[in-house]
Chains A and B, each alone.
Chain A
């Protein structure tokens, strides 16, 4: 989006504010104005393709959750990123955009599943990746990568096999490589492979 267009948008919607971005144009929009703003973007400004709906967990900050939307104009060939902060840090919610873009349906279900953001007005807000009874939202910052022990989704299978959803053995991981240095040294590698989920991690 060129500068003048943002100025026009800003003039028309005084609640918008510019957002720092390394690539495409980006704006901040209050959560309660999202539906109105997206309708205008779709109908009047040619942003006709909803590419992505996701969210950011800022951990200790408040507001903790920010919903992120990526729109593409297939006529202007331009992307636009819209960010909306969730007011409530404990039970974050945003208005559903299913009425504006049908593509929002499954995207919002995924974001609800993994981030725990409730989309008000969503026609069918169920989990889409994890099973329905799963108690956590795994992409939140306070969720460990290895997972948390819960029962297997099927009771009879759990009973027959004695299997539960266990924290995965990280084997010295998670493997984070440094961004600097020659590739031979930035290869992610396990520091400690001496333990698994069956054998306890040895204490020093």
Chain B
């Protein structure tokens, strides 16, 4: 992948910054992620802790949690997804404006977790594309923060201009099923 970090020397360039559209767009996007808390079970309690002062997600520019899909661009699926709820999650995801990302928080959202039963969807990635998976039952707030930083890394590597110009095409998210911890690839 080409280098998107362009050096800036004010003595040489003065008021002008030379960079790439991808780098600017991704820089803007990744420092202003608006999460939508899709709180479905006990993981949502940890999610609330992440939003509160002790762990403080606003350190990473993500404190604007929106409960409307129209105003959010990152769905944090925190909890057990039942088959009955799967339809709702899919519809809410479809209502979010592009670009949008999904974090599967905890064992249940990632794989169904301990709910090997007739009522539970065995992983939310069956119905919506997941960008980052977080292990844990429930994960520690630090683990979710780590996942959000991984998501920022991922946003930083997107081909945003290409996605913008190819509006009708599916956004080409590189490695859209990358696991948490795989953020250092490419």
Which residues of A come within 8 Å of B, CB atoms? Answer: 129-131, 138, 143-148, 152-154, 157, 160-161, 163, 165-171, 173, 197
Contacts and interface: CB of A to CB of B under 8 A. Distances in A.
Contacts of B90: 154, 157, 160-161
B168 interface: no
Interface residues of B, number: 17
6 contacts: A138-B118, A145-B117, A153-B87, A154-B90, A163-B121, A168-B116
A167 B122 CA distance: 10
A147 B126 contact: no
A161 B112 CA distance: 17
Contacts of B126: 161, 163
Contacts of B112: 168
Nearest to B83: A165
Contacts of A144: 118
A145 B119 CA distance: 10
Contacts of B84: 129-131, 153
Nearest to A144: B118
B127 interface: yes
Contacts of A145: 116-118
Contacts of A153: 83-84, 87
B26 interface: no
A158 B28 CA distance: 35
Contact of B87 (A138, A152, A171, A173): A152
A92 B118 CA distance: 23
A147 B119 CA distance: 8
A160 B94 CA distance: 11
Interface in B81-133: 83-84, 86-87, 90-91, 112, 115-122, 126-127
Given A130-B84, A131-B83, A153-B84, A161 B117 contact: no
Contacts of B91: 157
Given A157-B127, A161-B127, A163-B127, A152 B118 contact: no
Q: Pick from A129, A153, A165, A169 the residue with the most CB of B within 10 Å.
A: A165
Q: Pick from B112, B118, B119 the residue with the most CB of A within 10 Å.
A: B118
A165 B48 CA distance: 31
A187 to B, nearest CB: 14
B116 A157 contact: no
B116 A170 contact: yes
A167 B90 CA distance: 21
Contact of B116 (A131, A148, A165, A169): A169
Contacts of A138: 118-119
A163 B121 CA distance: 9
Contacts of A160: 90
Nearest to B120: A168
Nearest to B127: A161
Contact of B86 (A146, A157, A167, A197): A157
A152 B91 CA distance: 14
Contacts of A131: 83-84
A131 B118 CA distance: 12
A70 B87 CA distance: 36
Contacts of A148: 118
A149 to B, nearest CB: 10
A119 B19 CA distance: 71
